[in-house]
Amino acid sequence: MFGPAELKRLPDQETLPVLLRDQYRTRAFDVQEAERFTLLQTRFLDKPHLRQWAIRPLEKAGELEVVESSRRRASDYPAGTRMRFTR
């Protein structure tokens, strides 16, 4: 429909952070759920898109909080990490 030169960026409503927020709202979810959703229901990949383009920036901005995790660093999201959107 559009050539690569015509498409500079995705519309805001099609970005991964917006898609994740629409999917989970304020209910808690784990990183594996987010990986499955990202791979099966969006045009994005779980690595690196999910963590680098969505989870880390959202957590840093205070829009996503980790409620349970075995992580050793703030930027890690190991299996079993549970999180939720704050608003």
pLDDT at residue number 75: 86
pLDDT at residue number 46: 87
- In the sheet that holds 64-68, the strands lie side by side as 29-30, 82-85, 64-68
Is there a domain that residue 30 lies in?
yes
pLDDT at residue number 3: 57
pLDDT at residue number 48: 87
Is there a domain that residue 6 lies in?
no
Q: Please, are residues 69 and 78 in contact by the beta-carbon 8 Å criterion? A: yes
Number of neighbours of residue 74 by Cβ within 10 angstroms: 11
pLDDT at residue number 47: 86
pLDDT at residue number 74: 86
Is there a domain that residue 36 lies in?
yes
What is the percent of the chain where pLDDT is above 70? 85
Is there a domain that residue 39 lies in?
yes
Q: How many domains does the chain have?
A: 1
Domain with 31, as residue range(s), is: 12-68+78-85
Low-confidence ranges of the chain (pLDDT < 50): none
